Amino acid sequence: MNENELAGLLESLKRMGSDDLSVEVKESAMTLSRDVWETVSAFANTAGGIIVLGVSERAGFVPVANFETEKVLNQFVAGMGDAGGRGKLANPPKYTIERVELQGTVVLVITIEELDPSSKPCYVIERGAQGGSYKRIDDKDVPLSSTEVLALASYGRATPSDRDAVPGTSVGDLDESLVDRTIERAYSLTPRAMRGATDKKTKMERLNLLDFQGNVTKAGLLAAGVYPQQFYPKLFIDVAVHAGTQKGAAGPLRFMDRTVCEGTLGEMISDTVAAVAKNLRRTSTVQGISRIDSLEIPEEVLREAVANAVIHREYGDRFCGQSIAVDVFDDRIEVTNPGGLYGGKTRESLFDGSSRCRNATLVKLMSIVPLPDGAGSPAEGNGSGIPMMLDAMRAHGLAEPLFCPGFDRFKVVLYRSKIEPVDHGGDLIMTALKRYGELGTRELAERTGLTVSQVRARVNALIEQGELEPTAPLTSRNRKYRLSERVE
């Protein structure tokens, strides 16, 4: 990075008034503080980033006086464990350091690489103990939750949870009719699994509906139970329809529509598709003499997104208290499930057509169990789901799905068609200021439900339109915003 590139980067931060998701500025005139290592951990665990040492955010993103470049550089290298001693981090990331002259002062630009998933998380070590592990959200380094640390630490490690026996269950907790239809399908789909199985109990064991002691497995209960939520109350799908493009925009009403989908996994998938479909627009096309109605988002794409969330979610005991969320907004649908990427999958390899099975027993079983609406089986297990979703969305002239892997959850965003995007963010900011008078960026974020970055973008636009005015200079920590006189 040269001086012009660095100056341009800092100027963009100055306009926003703070650091951002991928850039952190630290003064560190003579000594590195602990929060530098928190930022390294956050960048390493999230998506990488740049740390600029020797620049003051408080003074308007300019070099600090008397910055001791070489001393600070040596402290950083030692802290990363590259000077022969014990470093400040466990699982440190790769990095590069550049000396860049800025307004006559040589500052340090450090590029932190994201860790390979199998090496996460990166911990800050304090006095020989783990000082915590962090993630990057907007311009903040946020401690990872216990489930996030667990999800990262267990990445790629096989889990037997879907084959565990469910305490307190018996064969009577399985839907006999569904079990019979599943066994019947198994004879045509996996005939070797049924070879030599002469009694029903043996057949159920072969399909892993039961373990070899005759106990109902977690996979069996979820796929063919009478009412699995009797044993796992939070294993449902929460479908919420929101007004606008953000949660909470409907005010006290909160939701325009809401459905809790329970039952077997197949029932949950079918009911969720139906609950979302009734809140989507339908389009009509004429083919020959026939008129064909279809959803604005292809139903097969919606079904695949929901089925993936159900089948590939984390079913370990520490995650069973979390439900799957399907949020319907004016411009998109978000499907979020507990459990991050698994088995070597990365952001880059999501689209390669390969399949990884966190719940191998469940995936196999769900490829046989029939769906209640006659739509076949919810799991194919051959890695064709994401490529199909991409192709179907393109074929309908829609934006490609957005896949957002997190530490302990996975979100898929499906963008809707025939909807003019409506930005309610500016209205929410104006309403908040009418009520409270003057508010800062973070106060606006708290009261509107927008992110800090979203607030900044909308505030800047409203200032240009003459709707708002700032109460202090851009570099002031006391800067707030209020309605302009002509609006009041």
What's the token pair of residue 292? Answer: 């064909």
Q: What is the pLDDT of residues 76-125, one digit of tens each?
A: 999 998 866 678 888 899 999 999 998 888 999 999 999 887 788 888 98
Per DSSP bridges, beta strands 49-53 and 324-328 are unpaired
Torsion of CA 436, 438, 442, 448, to 10 degrees: 40
Per DSSP bridges, beta strands 49-53 and 23-26 are parallel
Q: Give me the chain's average pLDDT, please.
A: 84
Residues 40 and 80: their CA atoms lie apart, in Å, by 9
Using alpha carbons, select from 420, 377, 406, 80 the residue that is nearest to residue 244: 420
Phi, psi at residue 209, to the nearest 5°? -70, -30
> Position 370: which residue type?
P
> Position 183: which residue type?
I
Q: Please state the rounded mean pLDDT for residues 382-402.
A: 84
CA atoms within 13 A on the CB side of 86: 7
Which uninterrupted H or E stretch holds 290? strand 290-295
Write down the pLDDT at residue 138.
Answer: 81
Residues 161 and 8: their CA atoms lie apart, in Å, by 51
Partners of 133 in the β-ladder: 123
Query: How distant, in Å, are the alpha carbons of 132, 200, 281, 323, 325 from that of 275?
Result: 41, 36, 13, 16, 13
b/e map of 279-290 (b: 16 or more CB within 10 Å)? Answer: ebeeeeeeeeee
Query: Lowest-confidence range among 86-100, 120-134, 292-306?
Result: 120-134
> Position 324: which residue type?
I
Q: What is the pLDDT of residues 451-482, one digit of tens each?
A: 788 888 899 889 988 889 999 888 787 889 99
Query: Lowest-confidence range among 141-145, 408-412, 421-425?
Result: 421-425
Q: Please state the rounded mean pLDDT for residues 147-157.
A: 70
